Amino acid sequence: MNPALAFSQVNKTYALAGNGSRYALREVCFAVAAGQKIAIVGRSGSGKSTLLHLAAGIDVPTTGEVWVEGRELGRLSEGERTLFRRHEVGLIFQFFHLLSHLSVGDNVALPAMIAGEHGEAAEARVVELLERVGLADRRRDPVQQLSGGEMQRVAICRALLRRPRLLLADEPTGNLDDENGRRVMDLLLSLADDEGAALLFVTHSQEFARLADQVWELHSGELVAGTEG
Ligand SMILES: Nc1ncnc2c1ncn2[C@@H]1O[C@H](COP(=O)(O)OP(=O)(O)OP(=O)(O)O)[C@@H](O)[C@H]1O
Ligand SMILES: [Mg+2]
């Protein structure tokens, strides 16, 4: 079976303002199996977000290959990569990225609306997910009335709506207090389990990193061999 995600000798460099370039990722190689959970740790600027952006097809490597479910993203056009991302990847960010003028339910339903999917199946999926995170009764409330922890739970539902095989979370608890962070992490891990999705999450918390199957550390763009979580 194809890995959920694989990097083959991925380098990512950014041009510097003068001349020359800076490595954000250097010769990164790995494979993540379906359902596997990986914590990515490392200092600020070590390349964690860059790795997730390449995995999501938001950006492309300078050299090397990124494979998701047996497809090499470098062979897709930008439009195809956008469609791929909507279908195959669930993204969760530190600052939630919800649309504040929409209701809780509409925020979760957004990926289906963009894909032109309406109707009962989509509705039922929204309710199912909101029930799972304990927010079904807030479905019609404006999302801006929610607390930070609640907003992140909504963002997790949105990410899962279309049943992606790959979940990517960039410091999902970075803007939450300990208690809410723990709740969000627990939900993220158990929902990834329920859905059989692979999960890569960036965290600065050793406690949360230990919840993963493996912990990988980035050192100045180099991936240090993973330690078991
Ligand atoms: N668009 C860009 N242009 C130029 N340099 C960039 C760009 N994006 C990232 N970088 C550089 O690449 C390196 C890795 O950045 P990245 O955002 O991946 O780090 P990070 O590990 O996520 O850090 P943090 O923990 O602070 O979020 C940094 O040196 C950063 O300055
Ligand atoms: Mg980052």
Mean pLDDT of 196-211: 97
Q: How much is the pLDDT for 115?
A: 86
Closest atom of ligand 1 to 51 CA is 18
Ligand 1 residue neighbourhood (C-beta within 6 Å): 14, 22, 24, 42, 44-50
Q: How much is the pLDDT for 142?
A: 97
The pLDDT of residue 227 is above 60 = no
* Measured CA angle at 139 (ends 84, 122), to 5 deg: 40
Q: How much is the pLDDT for 18?
A: 85
| Ligand 2 centroid distance, CA of 226 (Å) | 19
Q: Where are the domains of the chain?
A: 5-228
Q: How much is the pLDDT for 195?
A: 94
Closest atom of ligand 1 to 204 CA is 25
3-state secondary structure labels for all residues of 86-104 = HHHEEEECCCCCCCCCCEH
Q: Write down the pTM of the prediction.
A: 0.94
The total number of residues shown for the chain amounts to 229
Mean pLDDT of 154-176: 96
Fold of 5-228: Rossmann fold (3.40.50)
The 10s digit of each residue's pLDDT in 60-85 is: 999 999 999 999 999 999 999 999 99
- In the block, residue with structure tokens 């379906």: 34
Q: What counts of helices (H) and strands (E) characterise the chain?
A: 7, 10
The pLDDT of residue 189 is above 70 = yes
| Ligand 1 centroid distance, CA of 57 (Å) | 16
Question: Which residue minimizes the CA distance to atom 3 of ligand 1?
Answer: 14
The pLDDT of residue 117 is above 90 = no
The pLDDT of residue 126 is above 60 = yes
What percent of the chain lies above the pLDDT cut of 70? 98
What percent of the chain lies above the pLDDT cut of 90? 89
* Residue-averaged pLDDT of the chain: 94
Q: How much is the pLDDT for 226?
A: 61
On the 0-12 / 13-18 / 19+ scale of CB atoms within 10 A, 195 is middle
Nearest ligand (C-alpha, residue 40): 1
Mean pLDDT of 94-114: 94
- The dihedral formed by the CA atoms of 164, 173, 211 and 25, expressed in degrees to the nearest 10: 70
